[in-house]
Amino acid sequence: MPNSPYIKNRRLRVFGGPNGSGKTTIIELIKSSFDVGFYINADDIEKEVSLSGKFDLSSYNLDSIDPKLFDSFIQNHGMTKKAGSMGYKLDMRLNEENILVDNSAEVSYEAALIAEFLRQELLNKGKKMTFETVMSHPSKIDLIKRANQNGYKTYLYFICTSSPKINIERVNLRVKKGGHHVEKELIEKRYYNSLELLKETVSNTYRSFIWDNSGKEPKLILEVYNGKEVIAKTNQIPYWIHQYLLS
């Protein structure tokens, strides 16, 4: 439960859930009603970098970053070490307001690192921001905790389904429409990892909203205040929520 004093206008909104859960639908719903601040999506970053070989930081008001700071971030990040262990060498550097990337091959690692860099820098500056994540790694909990300590009100919108099979089918449909591919084994792994982290993530938020998107339309099932006060929005609570959050 967050216990630091809040600072006006500091908001962090996290849209979490496995691949194929339907996060985009909820994001658009919230965007239509709230100022979500700077929006960070690694998939969007990957598209931009793949096309242009660069990413413009000025749209995030981050156009005066010390290149040495950026280089240090990249060199010391665990994702860089992971990429290296798989034989993948990252080629990216900061040139004024642009991050330059070798886009001759896939740039998913680079996009993920840029997204993480944006989150860290915007948090350092106390900026309102929103990001999307599959939430399968505890580093996102660490970020939420840090935001709490920095006076942010932290919001989680978690969207999931009753089975990873649903997610796999939806990703396959998305690919047929031109969307990006994710291996089914990775979808399933992320599905269970994100659920295992759900309770701890919720416990560290100012407010959480838990959605089930197993059917044709997403349904808001629970709201949780200050990480512990649960308010049911329906009488029918899906089993996965009982198992991973309420038990």
Output the six-digit token pair for 147: 């935001």
pLDDT at site 181: 87
| pTM as predicted | 0.94
Q: Taking a C-beta distance cutoff of 8 angstroms, is the pair 50, 103 a contact?
A: yes
pLDDT at site 175: 92
Positions of the chain with pLDDT lower than 70, given as ranges: 1
Q: Taking a C-beta distance cutoff of 8 angstroms, is the pair 4, 148 a contact?
A: yes
Q: In 3-state terms, what secondary structure has residue 12?
A: strand
CA 74 to chain centre: 19
pLDDT at site 25: 92
pLDDT at site 212: 98
Q: What does the alpha-carbon distance between residue 94 and residue 71 come to, in Å, rounded to a whole number?
A: 8
Q: What is the pLDDT of residues 173-214, one digit of tens each?
A: 999 998 888 999 999 999 999 999 999 999 999 999 999 999
Closest CA to 7 of 130, 125, 152: 152
Delineate the domains of the chain, giving CATH numbers in brackets: 1-37+128-247 (3.40.50), 42-126 (no CATH)
Q: What does the alpha-carbon distance between residue 33 and residue 134 come to, in Å, rounded to a whole number?
A: 23
